[in-house]
């Protein structure tokens, strides 16, 4: 037993033996590591691709998606590659983007349809109109106005004696959306993040007043606190003085539909009179109705 242990110690203590063992171990490690890397790289993974060319704003369905096998390294090297079809179905191709046929899907290619530029307009009630107010970072108090906030609209102008008019015109109006200069919602991934437009949904009569007010003076958004949005009051016009002033600067357009009906009736009557003819041969009057 002791003799065998002594021989083992001598064998291990031999420099040539140690060198050979290290070389063998290194080769084994290299071989195993290489095979692992190769098998990982060529191991096929199934990922979705676009079966057809998908235009901007298209909502993706299962029929739009095909599947292909790629090497695993394609997936591991692409941080924004979408590998799960469930993350695509029901999503919308981003505004200004086109996904070409047979292309793979990436996170910047799709977005939630609720962030689409025209999504907020689809739910506007009958009798309401979308009103747009041009803004910038300064007039939104450092981009402090967000979608869903309730704010006030103040009128800034001058009266007929050049005196300043600055007062609240509309109280508690909801911001339907905040958009950049390209009309993209600031909540959208492709937005510049710089506000250029506030969008509201207002009754038709209020829409007409706001448009006229913009021609006479300017409208300025004024943000309020969280409670103002959490417990909003009714949207209302609060300055009769400004309303009367704006209307005094506006022309009154007659009801063209009534005028049109009157003109049509007159024309019909004239045509009927012209269709009354006399037959000279028989001295009979024939009336064509």
Q: What is the mean pLDDT of the chain?
A: 81
Looking at residues 99-124, what average pLDDT do you find?
81
How far apart CA 158 and CA 284 sit, in angstroms, is 73
Question: Of 26-40, 155-169, 237-251, where does mean pLDDT reach its minimum?
Answer: 26-40
Contacts of 250 (CB under 8 A, 6+ apart): 212, 216
Find where tokens 């590591």 sit: 33
Closest of 104, 107, 110, 99 to residue 49, by C-alpha: 104
Nearest to 110 by CA among 62, 75, 59: 59
Q: For position 76, what pLDDT does the model report?
A: 78
Q: State the pLDDT at residue 95.
A: 74
Listed in sequence order, the DSSP H helices in 43-171 are 72-76
Chain segment 215-240, per-residue pLDDT in tens? 999 999 999 999 999 999 999 999 99
DSSP E strand boundaries for 51-107: 65-71, 92-93
Model confidence at 69, pLDDT cuts 50, 70, 90, reads confident
Q: Give me the pLDDT at residue 2, please.
A: 55
| Model confidence pLDDT, tens digit, residues 257-278 | 655 555 545 544 554 444 444 4
From 173, 176, 172, 170, select the one nearest 124 (Cα to Cα): 176
Of the given ranges (46-60, 112-126, 253-267), which has the lowest mean pLDDT?
253-267
- Longest CA–CA span in the chain (Å) reads 156
- Confidence check: pLDDT of 104 > 50: yes
**Closest by CA position to 173, among listed 145, 137, 193, 138:** 145
**Quick check: 142 pLDDT over 80?**
yes
Mean pLDDT over residues 181-206, rounded? 88
Is this model's pTM higher than 0.85 or not?
A: no
Least confident of 37-51, 52-66, 255-269: 255-269
Among residues 209, 211, 204, which one has the least CA distance to residue 239?
209
- Model pLDDT, residue 276: 42
Rounded to an integer, what distance in angstroms lies between the CA atom of residue 195 and that of residue 180? 5
259's enclosing H/E stretch is: helix 256-274
At 223 the pLDDT is 96
CA dist 225 → 135, 178, 179, 247 (Å): 20, 18, 21, 32
Length of the chain: 289
More confident residue, 77 or 126: 126
């Amino acid at each position: 037993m002791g003799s065998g242990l002594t021989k083992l110690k001598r064998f291990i203590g031999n420099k040539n033996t140690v060198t050979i063992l290290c070389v063998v171990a290194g080769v084994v490690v290299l071989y195993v590591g290489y095979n692992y890397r190769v098998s990982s790289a060529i191991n096929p993974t199934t990922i979705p691709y676009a079966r057809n060319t998908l235009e901007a704003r298209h909502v993706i369905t299962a029929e739009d998606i095909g599947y292909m096998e790629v090497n695993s390294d394609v997936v591991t090297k692409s941080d924004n590659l979408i590998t799960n079809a469930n993350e695509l179905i029901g999503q919308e191709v981003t505004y200004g983007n086109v996904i070409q046929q047979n292309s793979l899907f990436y996170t910047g290619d799709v977005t939630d349809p609720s962030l689409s530029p025209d999504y907020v307009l689809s739910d506007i009630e009958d009798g309401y109109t979308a009103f747009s107010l041009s803004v910038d970072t300064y007039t939104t108090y450092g981009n402090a106005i967000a979608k869903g906030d309730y704010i006030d609209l103040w009128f800034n102008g001058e009266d007929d004696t050049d005196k300043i008019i600055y007062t609240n015109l509309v109280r508690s109006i909801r911001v339907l959306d905040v958009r950049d200069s390209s009309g993209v919602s600031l909540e959208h991934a492709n937005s510049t993040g710089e506000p250029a437009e506030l969008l509201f949904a207002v009754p038709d009569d209020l829409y007409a007043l706001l448009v006229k007010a913009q021609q006479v003076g300017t409208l300025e958004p004024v943000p309020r606190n969280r409670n103002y949005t959490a417990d909003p009051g009714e949207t209302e016009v609060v300055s009769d003085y400004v309303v009367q002033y704006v209307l005094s600067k506006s022309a009154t357009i007659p009801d063209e539909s009534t005028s049109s009906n009157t003109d049509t009736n007159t024309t019909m009557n004239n045509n009927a009179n012209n269709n009354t003819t006399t037959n000279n041969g028989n001295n009979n009057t024939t009336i064509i109705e």
